[in-house]
Amino acid sequence: MNPIIVSHVNKTFRTKTQDIKALQNVSFEVEQGEIFGLLGPNGAGKSTLINIMLNLLTPTDGSVLILGEKPGPRVLSRINVVAGGSEFHWALTPRDILSFYARIYQVTNFKERIAQLASLLKIHHLLDRKFSWLSTGERLRVAFAKAMLNRPKLLLMDEPTLGLDPGIAKDVRAEIQRLNRDTGMTILLTSHYMHEVEQLCNRIAFISKGKIVDIGEVKEVKLKHFGTYEITVTLDKKPKASWVSAHALRVEENKIKATLKDEESLSTLLAMIHESGYRINDIAIKKPTLEDYFIKVLHEQ
């Protein structure tokens, strides 16, 4: 059974003046061991969904199964969460914070476990400083250590790199990838930093105004909206006109331009050039990025 199964979830927040439909008929599954990205603009419903998984909110209707169980105390001991901008009591030290949570999670040999995590996340030197003295990046590493205490099978991450400088955000991404690779932990990540999602996630769901607009592999969803990408190959000499027209290519001086659908047509094209005795001096590929996708899909809404 997949670690996350969301079926027909609706969540409506009723306020005095209006009903806010934060989630509307949302269904998807996250598979074992994958890093799954939940994308969407601010207010799309991403945090609402994560909070339902954590049993902090209950859906208006529909159901959620986490590791085969309804969200609740039993499953909370087997999962964990990291949210960007995590706060702990300002006067406590990371050692106090981690010891406190280790007790909540009933971690045996907790001193050893904290030492292990401190070295994993490079926070040894921070363990006895006050939390309020730590920088944003250091605080996040403490939040990460807290999230790893109970060796979760599933990690939920809500905008983990929010507000981090690019260098630290890069370290955090590397950490996420390493934890996923080394421990096989399943990760659900929300983010609106597209390059981050592009780098980390294999599959994504795009959510807008509480509804899933697209779901699938990053490559697939991009292809669905763009279909093609452009390649320019610079050869050592001007290609023969007959050869160019036979393969329906566009040519400019010693450059060949083509519109491709997939990687297979790229290798076919390159093999063809090579077999015809041309040397390739340069290749430029213009592929739509996930950011191009995000903006296009938002405009279409």
Ligand X SMILES: Nc1ncnc2c1ncn2[C@@H]1O[C@H](COP(=O)(O)OP(=O)(O)O)[C@@H](O)[C@H]1O
Name the residues that contact ligand X, by CB under 6 A. 13, 15, 20, 22, 40, 42-48
- When CB distances are held under 5 to 8 angstroms depending on the partner's kind, the choice from Mg ion, ligand X, none that residue 42 binds is ligand X
State the minimum distance, in angstroms, from the CB of residue 158 to ligand X. 7
Strand partners, 189: 37, 157
Q: Which is nearer to ligand X, 49 or 67 (CB)?
A: 49
State which amino acid sits at residue 99: S
Q: Which residues of 11-20 are buried (b: 16+ CB within 10 A; e: fewer)?
A: beeeeeeeee
Residue whose C-beta lies closest to Mg ion? 47
- When CB distances are held under 5 to 8 angstroms depending on the partner's kind, the choice from ligand X, Mg ion, none that residue 22 binds is ligand X
State the minimum distance, in angstroms, from the CB of residue 2 to ligand X. 22
* Total residues binding Mg ion (CB under 5 A): 2
CB contact at 8 A, 164 and 173: no
Span of 47-55, 83-91, 224-232, 271-279 interacting with Mg ion by CB under 5 A: 47-55
Residue 226 neighbours by CB distance under 10 Å: 14
Span of 46-54, 64-72, 134-142, 229-237 interacting with Mg ion by CB under 5 A: 46-54
State the minimum distance, in angstroms, from the CB of residue 60 to ligand X. 12
Residue 273 neighbours by CB distance under 10 Å: 20
Tokens of 68: 């085969």
Q: Cα 117 vs. chain centroid, distance in angstroms?
A: 23
- When CB distances are held under 5 to 8 angstroms depending on the partner's kind, the choice from ligand X, Mg ion, none that residue 13 binds is ligand X
Handedness of CA 120, 183, 215, 19 (dihedral sign): negative
Residue with tokens 């994504």: 204
- For helices 290-300 and 218-226, angle between their N-to-C axes, nearest 10 degrees: 60
State the minimum distance, in angstroms, from the CB of residue 25 to Mg ion. 20
Q: Which is nearer to Mg ion, 47 or 208 (CB)?
A: 47
Contact residue for Mg ion among 9, 28, 47, 107 (CB under 5 A): 47
State the minimum distance, in angstroms, from the CB of residue 144 to ligand X. 20
State the minimum distance, in angstroms, from the CB of residue 203 to ligand X. 18
Tokens of 127: 């363990």
Q: Which is nearer to ligand X, 45 or 160 (CB)?
A: 45
- When CB distances are held under 5 to 8 angstroms depending on the partner's kind, the choice from ligand X, Mg ion, none that residue 298 binds is none
Q: Which is nearer to ligand X, 16 or 125 (CB)?
A: 16
Please calculate the CA angle 219-52-86 and round it to the nearest 5 degrees. Answer: 85
Output Rg (C-alpha) for the chain, integer angstroms. 24
Q: Which is nearer to Mg ion, 123 or 200 (CB)?
A: 200
Residue 134 neighbours by CB distance under 10 Å: 19
CB contact at 8 A, 36 and 201: yes
State the minimum distance, in angstroms, from the CB of residue 201 to ligand X. 16
| Residues engaged in binding Mg ion (CB under 5 A) | 46-47
